[in-house]
């Protein structure tokens, strides 16, 4: 009885006679290489990948992956369902994965989760750090809002023209950039005639042009405003007093 790993005995060449021959004779064992099958499991994915047939001692390729999994990248194949790294790449050439005739080798798809980044364009405000998370993660608005001198933050928008306000929590399905919307703050601007006539007080937007009113006071010559009136309104209420 003879045996050979990966092969099935197919007889002797020449055929062994029933009795010892009358002369020296050599009989050579004949072998048939065993065949085995690799079957593929999606391991959380969807779709189909056809089994592949292989012959012992002959290199042949694994079947191209036909599985997909939303939010995950396919890394390759492993004999372990829990594997995080692949033992074999897609369509890799393999040899002698099994030696028994008719054996079935099971490979599991190996996946890695896809990460995406949520970025923030502050449009003149203070920077807000980007957030990176896995596909499908529901994210709340950043805890820290941007600030901008003289402006009120109105929220984040999905487009630069600021017409599509973001609804939170936002489910991440790809890289995305959000844009800050701002409106100018209004402040109380007072011109105090300081005993004269012509005082005024009004709410004005940040950055608005300032034009002081004409003031008069009997017996006095107007020498200017304290503090000096700037060309535009800064951030905060302002009082200018006639001198």
- Per-residue confidence of the chain (243 residues) as pLDDT tens digits? 899 999 999 999 999 998 998 899 999 999 999 999 999 999 999 999 999 999 999 999 999 999 999 999 999 999 999 999 999 999 999 999 999 999 999 999 999 999 999 999 999 999 999 999 999 999 999 999 999 999 999 999 999 999 999 999 999 999 999 999 999 999 999 999 999 999 999 999 999 999 999 999 999 999 999 999 999 999 999 999 999
Answer whether 53's CB lies under 8 Å from 66's CB: no
Share of the chain above pLDDT 90, in %: 97
Q: For residue 156, give the nearest of 121, 117, 126 by alpha carbon.
A: 121
- Per DSSP, the three-state class of 224 is coil
Q: Strands 176-184 and 35-41: what pairing? A: unpaired
CA 97 to chain centre: 36
Given a contact cutoff of 8 angstroms between Cβ atoms, the answer to whether 139 and 148 are in contact is: no
Q: 4: closest CA among 29, 35, 27? A: 29
Residue 163: the pLDDT is: 97
State the pLDDT at residue 21: 87
Q: What is the pTM of this model?
A: 0.78
Q: Is 193 exposed, middle or buried (0-12, 13-18, 19+ CB in 10 A)?
A: middle
Q: What per-residue confidence (pLDDT) applies to 22?
A: 85
pLDDT at 48: 98
């Amino acid at each position: 009885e003879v045996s050979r790993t990966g092969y099935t005995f197919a007889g002797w060449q020449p055929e062994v006679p029933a009795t010892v021959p009358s002369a020296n004779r050599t009989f050579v064992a004949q072998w048939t290489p065993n065949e085995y099958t690799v079957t593929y499991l999606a391991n959380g994915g969807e779709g189909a990948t056809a089994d592949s047939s292989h012959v012992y001692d002959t290199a042949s390729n694994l079947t191209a992956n036909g599985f997909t999994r939303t939010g995950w990248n396919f890394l390759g194949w492993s004999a372990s369902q829990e594997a995080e790294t692949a033992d074999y790449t897609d369509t890799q050439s393999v040899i002698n994965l099994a030696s028994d005739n008719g054996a079935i080798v099971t490979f599991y798809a190996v996946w890695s989760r896809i990460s995406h980044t949520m970025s923030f364009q502050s449009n003149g405000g203070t920077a807000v750090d980007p957030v990176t998370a896995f596909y499908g993660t529901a994210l709340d608005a950043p805890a820290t809002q941007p600030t901008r001198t003289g402006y009120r933050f109105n929220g984040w928008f999905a487009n630069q023209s600021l017409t599509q306000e973001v609804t939170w929590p936002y489910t991440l399905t790809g890289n995305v950039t959000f844009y800050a919307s701002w409106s100018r703050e209004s402040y109380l601007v007072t011109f105090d005639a300081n005993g004269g006539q012509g005082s005024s007080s009004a709410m004005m937007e940040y950055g608005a042009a300032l034009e002081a009113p004409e003031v008069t006071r009997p017996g006095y010559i107007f020498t200017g405003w304290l503090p000096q009136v700037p060309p535009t309104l800064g951030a905060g209420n302002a009082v200018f007093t006639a001198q």
